[in-house]
Amino acid sequence: MTSPGKNAGKKDKLLFTPGPLTTSASVKEAMLRDLGSRDTAFIAAIRAIRNSLLGLAGLSREKGYECVLMQGSGTFGVESVIGSAVPPGGKLLVVINGAYGERILKIAGVLGIECEALRCNENRKTDPGEVAGRLEADESITTVAVVHCETTTGIINPVEETGSIARGAGKTYIVDAMSSFGAMELDLEAAEIDFLVSSANKCIEGVPGFSFVICRAGALDHCEGQARSLSLDLFAQWQGLETNGQFRFTPPTHTILAFERALEELAEEGGVAGRAARYSRNYDTLVAGMREMGFVEYLAREDQGYIITSFRYPTHPAFDFTEFYTRLGEKDLVIYPGKVSDADCFRIGNIGRIQDSDVRNLLKAIASVLEEQGVENAG
């Protein structure tokens, strides 16, 4: 008889983060099953997930799209696309207004890909007009990449308008939709997206272990033989999945099983629209409560998505973020440090298996911690 683990009975902290995030008991339970990587049931799960992800995007193979699963975090998926989709001698334009756009630029640099950065302030949406200007000025650019929901701040970038410009200029278009796919409506066909990358542990509410790429079949075909990595070869990964339904290298079996259940729960909630509604309620509750305590958001309301929100530090001299973070953690509540380069901020996520009642409990805890710190008002 197996004895209980040392963590048996311990309560999980609630994660108000952009992922990994709080998952349902049934998603966790799905991982209590061991399957071999060549087991027919596991191969069937991979096939079902690939089809479900295409369906979630409103796409299908009949419409000329494919879905590729890639081991590793979301960054692994982004790197597989950058390293496979940019042709030899090609040039990448990275549209940047946060840390994750900067990461794409760094990936390209490490891979030896010629690239150009189009930066704007972190509190401003990217400008499709500026993209058009760069493409017109430099015909050597072959590929454009942008982040949909820039997790640095929570800003939502105009990927549809940018896609129209990239397509009109004949460029390959890559969108990092890590923190938006599954909870924000996005028409990949209308947005002219060639490659969209997201991750298991974001808005679909799975656990970390793999990323996925939804791509136009024609664009994927052009990746053959172009990869700058063995393990992150996007075309070879797709080819392997198509040939025998298997990953080329050891797959994250338990993560796949958890994700299969997470997709079922997303459908039960009403799909993208249903999940968006819950996350939006979380966001509305959060912002109203934080403003009442005097907190100020980093972004203007019209630029802010409902996935994650950056708040400026209180100006009160008694506020110390490390202590603030630690005390919330002691109350089993986890928020996220900031990534904004020009302001002192912290972030609170509204995604994962949390409800607006959980957000209200977080707000009560924040008020309590502020009182403990001697901060009378966060303004």
**What pLDDT is attached to residue 379?**
73
Side chain identity at 3, as an amino acid letter? S
CB burial of 185-205 (b: ≥16 within 10 Å; e: otherwise) equals: ebebeebbbbbbbbbbbbbbb
Count CB neighbours of 334 within 10 A. 19
Residue 203, CA atoms < 13 Å, CB-side half-sphere? 31
- Cβ atoms of 177 and 186 within 8 Å: the answer is yes
d(CA 72, CA 257): 15
Taking the CA atoms of residue 280, residue 351, residue 61 and residue 261 in that order, the dihedral angle to the nearest 10 degrees is -120
**What pLDDT is attached to residue 1?**
40
**What pLDDT is attached to residue 8?**
55
CATH of domain 271-373: 3.90.1150.10
Task: State what percent of residues in the chain have pLDDT above 70.
Answer: 97
Q: Name the region of 374 (left: φ>0; alpha: ψ -120 to 50; beta: rest).
A: left
d(CA 93, CA 240): 30
- Cβ atoms of 110 and 86 within 8 Å: the answer is no
Map tokens 């509540």 to a residue: 333
For the chain, list residues with pLDDT below 70: 1-9
Range list for CATH 3.90.1150.10 in the chain: 271-373
Angle (CA) 84 89 94, round 5°: 65
CATH of domain 25-267: 3.40.640.10
Does residue 229 sit in helix, strand or coil? coil
d(CA 283, CA 128): 27
DSSP 8-class letter at 346: E
Map tokens 């502020």 to a residue: 370
222-234 tens-digit pLDDT: 999 999 999 999 9
d(CA 66, CA 163): 19
d(CA 354, CA 104): 30
Angle (CA) 208 211 216, round 5°: 165
d(CA 242, CA 247): 10
Side chain identity at 292, as an amino acid letter? E
**What pLDDT is attached to residue 2?**
47
